[in-house]
Protein backbone atom coordinates (compact mmCIF):
# COMPACT_ATOMS: atom_id res chain seq x y z
CA UNK A 1 0.00 0.00 0.00
CA UNK A 2 2.89 2.38 0.72
CA UNK A 3 4.47 1.74 -2.66
CA UNK A 4 1.34 1.20 -4.71
CA UNK A 5 1.75 4.44 -6.69
CA UNK A 6 5.17 3.41 -7.95
CA UNK A 7 6.97 6.70 -7.34
CA UNK A 8 10.48 5.47 -8.06
CA UNK A 9 13.44 7.26 -9.64
CA UNK A 10 16.41 5.11 -10.60
CA UNK A 11 20.11 5.97 -10.83
CA UNK A 12 19.56 9.69 -10.65
CA UNK A 13 22.39 12.09 -11.37
CA UNK A 14 21.56 14.76 -8.83
CA UNK A 15 23.66 17.78 -7.94
CA UNK A 16 22.90 17.87 -4.27
CA UNK A 17 20.35 16.89 -1.64
CA UNK A 18 18.05 19.79 -2.57
CA UNK A 19 18.06 18.65 -6.19
CA UNK A 20 17.07 15.04 -5.43
CA UNK A 21 14.50 16.02 -2.80
CA UNK A 22 12.91 18.42 -5.30
CA UNK A 23 12.83 15.79 -8.05
CA UNK A 24 11.04 13.28 -5.83
CA UNK A 25 8.68 15.88 -4.37
CA UNK A 26 7.64 17.01 -7.86
CA UNK A 27 6.72 13.44 -8.75
CA UNK A 28 4.66 13.07 -5.57
CA UNK A 29 2.95 16.38 -6.22
CA UNK A 30 2.15 15.56 -9.84
CA UNK A 31 0.61 12.29 -8.73
CA UNK A 32 -1.62 14.18 -6.29
CA UNK A 33 -0.20 12.23 -3.36
CA UNK A 34 0.95 15.39 -1.58
CA UNK A 35 -0.14 18.99 -1.48
CA UNK A 36 1.59 21.61 -3.57
CA UNK A 37 3.89 22.99 -0.87
CA UNK A 38 4.99 19.56 0.43
CA UNK A 39 8.39 19.80 -1.29
CA UNK A 40 9.11 23.23 0.12
CA UNK A 41 8.38 22.03 3.63
CA UNK A 42 10.46 18.89 3.22
CA UNK A 43 13.42 21.06 2.15
CA UNK A 44 12.95 23.43 5.09
CA UNK A 45 12.73 20.58 7.51
CA UNK A 46 15.75 18.83 6.01
CA UNK A 47 17.80 22.01 6.54
CA UNK A 48 16.90 22.18 10.25
CA UNK A 49 16.41 18.51 11.08
CA UNK A 50 18.40 16.55 8.51
CA UNK A 51 17.68 12.88 7.78
CA UNK A 52 20.93 11.39 6.50
CA UNK A 53 21.63 8.00 8.07
CA UNK A 54 24.82 6.05 7.82
CA UNK A 55 24.27 2.32 7.68
CA UNK A 56 26.76 -0.48 7.40
CA UNK A 57 26.31 -0.84 3.65
CA UNK A 58 25.63 2.69 2.41
CA UNK A 59 24.08 6.04 3.26
CA UNK A 60 20.32 6.49 3.18
CA UNK A 61 18.10 9.51 3.74
CA UNK A 62 14.45 9.63 4.80
CA UNK A 63 13.25 13.17 4.09
CA UNK A 64 9.71 13.90 5.29
CA UNK A 65 7.55 16.62 6.78
CA UNK A 66 4.32 17.22 8.64
CA UNK A 67 1.36 15.04 7.66
CA UNK A 68 -0.80 18.08 6.97
CA UNK A 69 0.93 18.45 3.60
CA UNK A 70 0.05 14.89 2.59
CA UNK A 71 -3.09 13.59 0.88
CA UNK A 72 -2.28 9.90 0.74
CA UNK A 73 0.32 7.91 2.67
CA UNK A 74 3.09 6.80 0.38
CA UNK A 75 6.83 6.25 0.24
CA UNK A 76 8.81 7.38 -2.80
CA UNK A 77 12.09 5.71 -3.65
CA UNK A 78 15.14 7.11 -5.42
CA UNK A 79 18.57 5.64 -6.08
CA UNK A 80 21.57 7.80 -6.97
CA UNK A 81 24.16 7.09 -9.59
CA UNK A 82 26.79 8.78 -7.44
CA UNK A 83 26.27 9.35 -3.71
CA UNK A 84 25.40 12.88 -2.66
CA UNK A 85 25.98 14.55 0.70
CA UNK A 86 23.16 14.86 3.19
CA UNK A 87 23.60 16.24 6.67
CA UNK A 88 23.69 13.60 9.39
CA UNK A 89 20.48 13.10 11.33
CA UNK A 90 21.99 13.83 14.72
CA UNK A 91 24.99 15.93 13.86
CA UNK A 92 24.49 18.53 11.11
CA UNK A 93 28.23 19.22 11.10
CA UNK A 94 28.75 15.72 9.76
CA UNK A 95 27.91 14.59 6.25
CA UNK A 96 26.57 11.26 5.10
CA UNK A 97 27.16 10.14 1.52
CA UNK A 98 23.70 8.99 0.52
CA UNK A 99 22.91 6.49 -2.24
CA UNK A 100 19.25 5.72 -1.51
CA UNK A 101 16.46 8.13 -0.64
CA UNK A 102 13.10 7.10 0.81
CA UNK A 103 10.79 10.09 0.94
CA UNK A 104 8.11 9.36 3.49
CA UNK A 105 4.69 10.93 3.04
CA UNK A 106 2.35 10.08 5.92
CA UNK A 107 -1.18 11.37 5.94
CA UNK A 108 -1.59 10.68 9.66
CA UNK A 109 1.00 11.17 12.39
CA UNK A 110 2.08 8.08 14.34
CA UNK A 111 0.71 5.99 11.50
CA UNK A 112 2.19 2.75 10.21
CA UNK A 113 4.61 2.06 13.00
CA UNK A 114 5.18 -1.51 11.84
CA UNK A 115 5.91 -0.45 8.29
CA UNK A 116 8.38 2.20 9.39
CA UNK A 117 10.10 -0.24 11.72
CA UNK A 118 10.37 -2.72 8.87
CA UNK A 119 11.82 -0.02 6.62
CA UNK A 120 14.46 0.74 9.24
CA UNK A 121 15.18 -2.97 9.47
CA UNK A 122 15.98 -2.99 5.75
CA UNK A 123 18.63 -0.36 6.46
CA UNK A 124 20.41 -3.05 8.47
CA UNK A 125 20.19 -5.54 5.62
CA UNK A 126 23.25 -5.00 3.42
CA UNK A 127 22.16 -7.37 0.67
CA UNK A 128 18.76 -5.75 0.35
CA UNK A 129 20.25 -2.25 0.17
CA UNK A 130 22.72 -3.25 -2.52
CA UNK A 131 19.96 -4.89 -4.53
CA UNK A 132 17.88 -1.72 -4.24
CA UNK A 133 20.85 0.36 -5.36
CA UNK A 134 21.49 -1.77 -8.43
CA UNK A 135 17.91 -2.19 -9.55
CA UNK A 136 16.21 -0.13 -12.24
CA UNK A 137 12.95 -2.00 -12.14
CA UNK A 138 9.83 -1.08 -10.16
CA UNK A 139 8.72 -4.69 -9.77
CA UNK A 140 12.13 -5.77 -8.52
CA UNK A 141 12.31 -2.99 -5.92
CA UNK A 142 8.83 -3.86 -4.72
CA UNK A 143 9.83 -7.51 -4.48
CA UNK A 144 12.89 -6.70 -2.34
CA UNK A 145 10.72 -4.56 -0.06
CA UNK A 146 7.98 -7.16 0.07
CA UNK A 147 10.49 -9.80 1.12
CA UNK A 148 11.26 -7.47 4.02
CA UNK A 149 7.57 -7.05 4.94
CA UNK A 150 7.19 -3.61 3.39
CA UNK A 151 4.40 -3.01 0.92
Q: Which residues bind another protein (CB under 8 A)?
A: 45, 48-51, 53-56, 62, 64-67, 89-92, 104, 106, 109-110, 113-114, 116-117, 120-121, 123-124
Please report how close the Cβ of residue 134 comes to another protein at its closest, in angstroms: 21
DSSP secondary structure string for all residues of 3-60: TTT--EEEEE--SSHHHHHHHHHHHHHHTTSB-TTHHHHHHHHHHHS--EEE-SS-EE
Please report how close the Cβ of residue 11 comes to another protein at its closest, in angstroms: 24
- Closer residue to another protein (CB): 10 or 71: 71
- Closer residue to another protein (CB): 10 or 49: 49
With beta carbons less than 8 A apart as the criterion, state whether 99 and 52 touch. no
DSSP secondary structure string for all residues of 105-128: E-SSTT--HHHHHHHHHHTT-HHH
- Closer residue to another protein (CB): 26 or 121: 121
- Closer residue to another protein (CB): 36 or 109: 109
- CA–CA separation, 147 and 133 (whole Å): 16
Please report how close the Cβ of residue 48 comes to another protein at its closest, in angstroms: 7
With beta carbons less than 8 A apart as the criterion, state whether 19 and 81 touch. no
With beta carbons less than 8 A apart as the criterion, state whether 118 and 149 touch. yes
- Closer residue to another protein (CB): 64 or 142: 64
Amino acid sequence: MFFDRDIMLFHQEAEDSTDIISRIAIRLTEAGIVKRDFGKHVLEREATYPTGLKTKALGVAIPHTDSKYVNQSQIAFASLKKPISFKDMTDPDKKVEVSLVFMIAMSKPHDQMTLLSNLMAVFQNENALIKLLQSDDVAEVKQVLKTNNIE
